[in-house]
Amino acid sequence: MKCSEVIEKLEELSPVAFAEKWDNVGLVIGNKEKEIRKVMIAVDATEDVILQALKYNADMLLTHHPMILSGEKNIISDDFIGKRIITLIKNDICCYAMHTNFDVMGMADAAADVIGLRDRKVLDITYEDEIAKEGCGRFGKLSKMMTLEQCANHVKKEFKIDSVRVYGDRDLKIEKCAIMPGSGGDYIEHAIQAGVEVLVTGDIKHHQGMDACAKGLAIIDAGHYELEKIFVPYMEEFFCRNMNSLTVCGAKESVPFWVL
């Protein structure tokens, strides 16, 4: 398949129109006419991931986070982003990003599926027409009533996470839950307005967590990468169903920090 044909399929799943205006989704690097046979999928286009793509002889690197987000004034090998760009171009590897458009059309429902949210609704509506309301995050009911501690353990188990940070009384009864993969501090008020008892997200700051509790909302900070890593198996399955002539491989990634 040509790169343009792969892009057409990807944008049927997550149209670029759903992306935030500040975002940089779509084909970041490459030639739309290039023939694509092998695709590597990753959350981030790190140097290690790009080396994996080279060893895999990938024609395309598909990532969730855009490698280029702000304007690059110089593409030089002394700069870590410039070095990655040069490596991809030299090796004729296309790089395509599905970020906030996938958050809306893909990630939100996938994350809600993982923890089994029922009767779900959109947490933050960013797109609306006469047919549907779409946006970031989801909220709904858990499969059963549980304490905050049990809910945190449920999130750990289902997302296969080593640890989570929890703000709130461990014995708090939880029935209604919101989930916002990635960085969710800006969605605390949306969760409060939705009337849920807990928000599952990542990148919560000290005062955000304390202030949320003061307003009656518990927080389970499960980590940015830990919640968004579902992008890789989700897209592997998508390629298998819709572009099975291509060979696809998920990159080997891990949490980008360690805890002593």
CA distance 70 to 4: 24
- What's the length of the chain? 260
**Which residue's structure tokens are 């958050």?**
103
CA distance 246 to 157: 32
Give residue 125's identity as a one-letter amino acid code.
I
**Which residue's structure tokens are 């009911």?**
141
Cα–Cα–Cα angle for 7, 12, 16, rounded to 5 degrees: 75
Spell out the per-residue pLDDT of the chain, length 260, in tens: 999 999 999 999 999 999 999 999 999 999 999 999 999 999 999 999 999 999 999 999 999 999 999 888 899 999 999 999 999 999 999 999 999 999 999 999 999 999 999 999 999 999 888 888 999 999 999 999 999 999 999 999 999 999 999 999 999 999 999 999 999 999 999 999 999 999 999 999 999 999 999 999 999 999 999 999 999 999 999 999 999 999 999 999 999 999 88
Tokens encoding 243: 């572009």
Answer yes or no: are the C-beta atoms of 159 and 199 closer than 8 Å: no
Entry pTM: 0.96
